[in-house]
Chains A and B, each alone.
Chain A
Amino acid sequence: MVWSMLLDGFATVSMPENFIYLFGGIVIGLVMGAIPGLTATMAIALIIPMTYYITPTQSLIMLLAAYNAGTFGGSMSAILIATPGTPAAAATVADGFALAKQGKAVKAIKAALLASCFGCLFSSFVLTLIAQPIARYALKFGPAEYTVLMVFSLTIIASAAGRSLTKGLIGGCLGLLFGCVGMDAVYTTPRFTFGVLKLSSGIDLMVLLIGALAFSEVLKQAGHVRQAQNRPHLPAPACKEDSQFTRDDLKLSWKHWLRSSVIGCVIGALPGLGPALACWVGYDAAKRSAKHPELFGKGAVEGIAGAESANNAVCGANMIPLLSLGVPGDTGAAVLIGAFLVQGLTPGPLIFAESPQTVYNVYAGLILCNFVLFGVVWFTYRFFAAVARLEGSLIYPAVCVFCLIGVYALNSSLTDVWIMLFFAVVGFVLSRLEFPTVTMLIGFILSPIFERNARRALQLSFGDYGVFFRSPLCWAFWVITVISLVTILWGKRKNRELQDGL
């Protein structure tokens, strides 16, 4: 059943009218990922407005392809200009740029490409195998269990994102409050609408996402645009082998691909961690297990393999909580939730019953996009040195224009643009003061599900708050919350020490 639906998915995605969107997503993601300051998440936030009027399969494969390609694209600028295009490529700079300075930039790009494609492919297969069984189990959750699951997700995301748990939770509370705007779901009384008719239908997720993620990033980068860009001179390859990914490189890399892909899958499946952490953990694991760890940072192919497999493995794995539980794992998944909702699909356990073929088309698209990404980069990598050096004075004004048109296109309303500008300021202030914006976004997404389930549980128990501690499943979630909280906080402390040491 699973495999036949997956095969159908491949057939659907391979059709020219769908394949073109997958290809387009890869190109846009690669270009945006390769430009320092523009992230893979920003790429998908800006693409979503273009997907309002296409089919769910076309839209979702395009966005996932952009997300995967954007995550890889960051490593191109990391290798070529020593500036990670995305935070997820930070660990690639050390070895990637060291190789480039030795005239081996092409070898570094090929090493990063192979590692990234392997990582994403691995996690896509894991996603295909385990998302549906988890979703089937999640269907047994009652409202009390779902409420505790929301507490679990928010706490874990708040503890994992940013440096401070308190700041993360404050961001989560703000998101929950913004999620209350609109009509009350039970009594249909207006809440926080301040007399604005537009607000009675609530704040649109895409408006918040584009404001708090994309436009706030432009406001953040605005002060740095005028600064001169570094244009390091890279030597030409000394011999043919300097541009090739040889059999010896493969022998050195394959174990790191596998190990880091597992690491990336675990990190991606846990809410809140994301690719930026995965790349460092993957890099550290590769360094620890390498025969010559002293070469790390001086141009080790294994360093690139460890970091790149881990960060791209997150792309598939963070779809696991999204599809099976309806909980976005990081900002990328939060933006993807917006795309699902725009298409009339609600991510969560029911999606496997309501639109199973769309889900399998998405799986097929995710798997196929790695092969297409491989082909595109293999033949066009020379072009990306120029892309990575595109001037900010050209890029950021264009992003501003896209932010405005993307928000306007949603409802043909300029009121949405004002709301977007408001969230841009909120996102700008929060991120300047190191409050993680991701917790606000995820709090906003989870707010209606959280409130609906909490109210239903309380109504069924006649107002008894003990309902959240009654079933064994609730207790299991509370225990997992505490254990995960302690583990993540301990892990983050270790990761900080690790980054200081590298």
Chain B
Amino acid sequence: MSSKESQLKESRMEQLAGVFFALLSLLLYFVIIPWQIESVRGAHPSPRSFPEVIAALLFVLAICLFISGWCKRSRPNQKIFRMSQEEIRQSIITFLVMTGYTLLLYVLPYIPVTMAALGVLMWIYGQRKWWKLSLAMLILPPSIYMAFTSLLKLRLP
């Protein structure tokens, strides 16, 4: 496993998260809500009221989080958020495999695509025993297919 890892002090993380959520709340309040929710004249409370209140509350909380991070910045024994490059890589690969799996389901049938996705994921997670790989690939997808189509009467892609 790679020893390289990304680190983030708790104070730094809170400051960054505070800035992110503050920007998100401003974006929501001034751009997304007016763009995505029609205003209804004379309505009180209008369809925009509840999201606007939450966006305003999110802004206040984001500022609180930023201040909390700022106050902790010189504290000696802060929590450190660590994530190794291996972890990041594995998470991204898993997500990409699932994205590919979903895309393939638009054009190919369920069983072969699921067999392939299962095999790829097992391989990525370090499974090298061919009999375990083939057993899982041959048993699981057809069983799921049978259970959902025969018992639950669902039509799978």
Contacts and interface: CB of A to CB of B under 8 A. Distances in A.
A451 interface: yes
A397 B118 contact: yes
A197 interface: no
Nearest to A425: B95
Contact of A180 (B51, B62, B87, B118): B51
B43 interface: yes
A189 B38 contact: yes
Interface string A389-413: 0011110111011101100110010
A425 B99 CA distance: 12
B102 A177 contact: no
B91 A428 contact: yes
Contacts of B155: 412
Given A396-B94, A401-B144, 11 more contacts: A166-B61, A167-B65, A170-B61, A177-B28, A190-B36, A192-B51, A194-B36, A400-B117, A408-B156, A418-B102, A433-B81
A221 B48 CA distance: 39
- Most chain A CB within 10 A, of B57, B86, B91, B154, is at B91
Contacts of B89: 223
A166 B102 contact: no
Interface of B is mostly: helix
- Most chain B CB within 10 A, of A180, A409, A418, A454, is at A180
A417 interface: yes
Interface in B72-121: 81, 83-84, 86-91, 93-95, 97-99, 101-102, 105-106, 114, 117-118, 121
Contact of B140 (A173, A226, A398, A417): A398
A285 interface: no
B126 A225 contact: yes
11 contacts: A53-B152, A184-B47, A187-B46, A193-B36, A215-B98, A226-B126, A397-B117, A412-B154, A425-B95, A458-B45, A459-B44
B65 A398 contact: no
Contact of A393 (B45, B88, B117, B125): B125
A233 to B, nearest CB: 23
Nearest to A158: B61
Interface string A171-203: 001101100100010110111111000000000
Nearest to A396: B125
Contacts of A251: none
Interface residues on B, range: 35 or more
Contacts of A218: 94
B72 to A, nearest CB: 11
B126 A401 contact: no
Nearest to B136: A394
A459 B83 CA distance: 50
Contact of B99 (A173, A397, A421): A421
A222 B94 contact: yes
A393 B127 CA distance: 6
A224 interface: yes
Contact of A173 (B58, B90, B114, B141): B58
Given A173-B61, A226-B1, A404-B98, A455 B50 contact: yes
A397 B121 contact: yes
Contacts of A391: 127, 132
B137 to A, nearest CB: 10
Given A414-B105, A455-B50, A191 B156 contact: no
Given A166-B64, A222-B125, A421-B98, A401 B140 contact: yes
A424 interface: yes
Interface in B10-62: 13, 17, 21, 28, 32, 36-38, 40, 43-47, 49-51, 54-55, 57-58, 61-62
A143 B62 CA distance: 29
A396 B121 contact: yes
Contacts, number: 172
A4 interface: no
B1 A409 contact: no
A50 interface: yes
A230 interface: no
A428 B98 CA distance: 15
A222 B61 contact: no
A383 B152 CA distance: 30
A455 B54 CA distance: 14
A411 B32 CA distance: 28
A215 B98 CA distance: 10
A136 interface: no
Interface string A365-404: 0000000000000000000000000011110111011101
Nearest to A405: B144
A192 B122 contact: no
A223 B91 contact: yes
A173 B45 contact: no
A95 B57 CA distance: 45
Contacts of A166: 61, 64-65, 68
A6 B121 CA distance: 47
Nearest to B118: A397
A223 B32 contact: no
A433 B95 contact: no
A52 interface: yes
Contacts of B47: 184, 186-187, 189, 191
A417 B102 contact: yes
B153 interface: yes
Contacts of B43: 186-187
Contacts of A459: 44-45
Contacts of B101: 404
B153 A432 contact: no
Contact of B114 (A176, A222, A394, A401): A401
B101 to A, nearest CB: 7
A190 B58 CA distance: 22
Contacts of A176: 50, 54
A142 interface: no
Contact of B51 (A169, A191, A404): A191
A421 B102 contact: yes
